[in-house]
Chains A and B, each alone.
Chain A
């Protein structure tokens, strides 16, 4: 049996980035993916001839000299044609019941947009964004700088967004506008470390791109390179067991009965899923902690088409928030409640080849009755289809009440938390993996090292959510095998050159 240097479990973006870094450093690597399509939440699917994205709608930090661009340059990924810029002058329109504001790829412009609405608070707005910028720069794996200040890092990872907001303004309406990107990590302002919120915000405020041919084209481009560097990808190989001897994984077993062996194992699947295979080898201290970690919210997505998009400005996303209070921004109530937030992924983008999506936060609980049915059984279950349609109708009605012209919308398909769970293996269909609260991040985070000596974990649950967070988590996990300092130095050089150029 071939022995690899590294077996990677799952083919989400964190796993593929790990595979690319390791093969670039001449390690023999194979990736095992349970599905017939690679990419995890970055995969796209095709229905009635139209391609739809599941979890790849827009990405930040892709301009030359920004962190994602630097990472892809380092990995020799040709980026032409994969991405297109959204409107730099206003890429996200945040619609609140009493006001509307645009975020732009420019701090000054965004500060000015907000200051027009909150005139008396313009100084606080400026100071808040100055702080966001300053904090984001402190992350070693975002700025690619290995010399960081531990004490200030602790401070930004132990202070909640809400605490920071309270120091700048007490007005819930303004706080809501500043906390809107809680939708992008799924953590309430009182729980999320300010550091995570700052990186997510900053990554978008320099550059924002959509994916021209969907997340799948991006994944395919990464995999071409991975294979060219000697990496192997095995599809429909669901890992079901890990054999342990003397605290080391000796063998990875898949559902098809195959075994894979390697010096190191990197898991890019949900931490609760990977540790379930080795539970009896772990101390209660760890398993008790793992069991108590909450999941982030899940999403329900409607896939379809606005035949007439002229009501939407080109190249902009739309967020419709229901409430103007930071603790209610991403609240998930019952299936019959009006959604706290509705996201339209840049509906007027003639340039892209993928279909349109409308997304709301959702809960597995809404679909408990059907969670044990397989996908074919669900497809034919009248009650399941009916609840999905009822929720979709509610979303469309809410959009109409907010002035969106929905007459030309045609629903093609609807995915629920069960779909997410079944396709991705995320617990309860969570969109962003574990709940990234102060208790589960920074020094308290799970991974990359684990109690099993040759098992590293990667993925959005180990660092911060989103494609960028997941990709950087791959870098960080590989740092344990190759040396994080040298990796960061190589990346820093590219970033530096590109910024100068």
Chain B
């Protein structure tokens, strides 16, 4: 998967499950302040990411993500490791 495909997949997942609109989904969007998501939402997000992208996310690294851009980077990195 290239980076654009990953960005699209992550965004689709967020729109479907978290009812977020596309205009909010920017790499600079912060989870808490811009997207209104809390730590429990983050766990749900982790599970959906893993299921939809078929990757196992490094939980320690996932704990550090603060923006959507961080998520794209992390998933991209993990999918590269897999291939």
A283 with B18: CB separation less than 8 A: yes
From residue 30 to 64 of chain B, which have CB atoms closer than 8 A to chain A? Answer: 40-41, 43-48, 50-51, 56, 59-60
Residues in B whose Cβ lies below 8 Å from that of A283: 17-19, 41, 44
**Is B16 positioned at the interface, with any CB of A under 8 Å from its CB?**
yes
Asked if A284 meets B40 with Cβ closer than 8 Å, knowing A150-B60, A443-B46, A444-B46, the reply is no
Residues in A whose Cβ lies below 8 Å from that of B48: 285, 288-289
Residues in B whose Cβ lies below 8 Å from that of A285: 17-18, 41, 44-45, 48
Residues in A whose Cβ lies below 8 Å from that of B50: 439
A365 to B19, CA, bound (A): 35
Residues in A whose Cβ lies below 8 Å from that of B40: 286, 449-451
Residues in B whose Cβ lies below 8 Å from that of A158: 56, 59
B43 with A284: CB separation less than 8 A: no
B41 with A289: CB separation less than 8 A: no
A289 to B51, CA, bound (A): 10
A157 to chain B: closest residue by CB: B59
From A154, A289, A451, give the contact of B47 (CB < 8 A).
Answer: A289
Interface size on A, residues (CB 8 A): 18
Residues in A whose Cβ lies below 8 Å from that of B51: 292, 439
A444 to B47, CA, bound (A): 7
From residue 444 to 474 of chain A, which have CB atoms closer than 8 A to chain B? Answer: 444, 449-451
Asked if A154 meets B59 with Cβ closer than 8 Å, knowing A283-B44, A285-B41, A443-B43, the reply is yes
A230 to B42, CA, bound (A): 39
B47 with A151: CB separation less than 8 A: no
Interface of B is mostly: helix
A44 to B47, CA, bound (A): 38
From A288, A442, A444, A450, give the contact of B17 (CB < 8 A).
Answer: A288
A439 to B46, CA, bound (A): 10
A154 with B19: CB separation less than 8 A: no
Nearest-Cβ distance from residue B58 to partner chain A, whole angstroms: 8
Question: B1-45 CB contact bits vs A (8 Å, 1 = yes)?
Answer: 000000000000000111100000000000000000000110111
Of the listed residues A151, A286, A451, the one surrounded by the most CB atoms of chain B closer than 10 A to its CB is A286
Nearest-Cβ distance from residue A190 to partner chain B, whole angstroms: 14
A439 with B47: CB separation less than 8 A: yes
A443 to chain B: closest residue by CB: B59
A444 to B50, CA, bound (A): 11
A493 to B56, CA, bound (A): 38
Question: A276-296 CB contact bits vs B (8 Å, 1 = yes)?
Answer: 000000011110110010000
Residues in B whose Cβ lies below 8 Å from that of A150: 60
Asked if A284 meets B17 with Cβ closer than 8 Å, knowing A443-B43, A444-B43, A451-B40, the reply is yes
A161 to B56, CA, bound (A): 16
Residues in B whose Cβ lies below 8 Å from that of A286: 40, 44
Nearest-Cβ distance from residue A293 to partner chain B, whole angstroms: 9
A449 to B40, CA, bound (A): 8
A343 to B31, CA, bound (A): 49
Nearest-Cβ distance from residue B30 to partner chain A, whole angstroms: 18
From residue 146 to 160 of chain A, which have CB atoms closer than 8 A to chain B? Answer: 150-151, 154, 158
A442 to B59, CA, bound (A): 10
A284 to B13, CA, bound (A): 11
Residues in A whose Cβ lies below 8 Å from that of B56: 158
From residue 422 to 450 of chain A, which have CB atoms closer than 8 A to chain B? Answer: 439, 442-444, 449-450
A354 to B83, CA, bound (A): 57
A289 with B60: CB separation less than 8 A: no
- Add 8 more A-B contacts to A439-B47, A439-B51, A443-B59 (CB < 8 A): A154-B59, A283-B19, A284-B18, A284-B19, A285-B17, A285-B48, A292-B51, A444-B46
Q: Which 9 A-B pairs have the closest CB atoms?
A: A285-B17, A285-B44, A285-B18, A443-B59, A154-B59, A284-B17, A286-B44, A289-B47, A444-B47
> Could you list some 26 contacts between A and B, CB below 8 A?
A150-B60, A151-B60, A154-B59, A154-B60, A283-B41, A283-B44, A284-B17, A284-B19, A285-B17, A285-B41, A285-B44, A285-B45, A285-B48, A286-B40, A286-B44, A288-B17, A288-B48, A289-B44, A439-B47, A439-B51, A443-B43, A444-B46, A444-B47, A449-B40, A450-B40, A451-B40
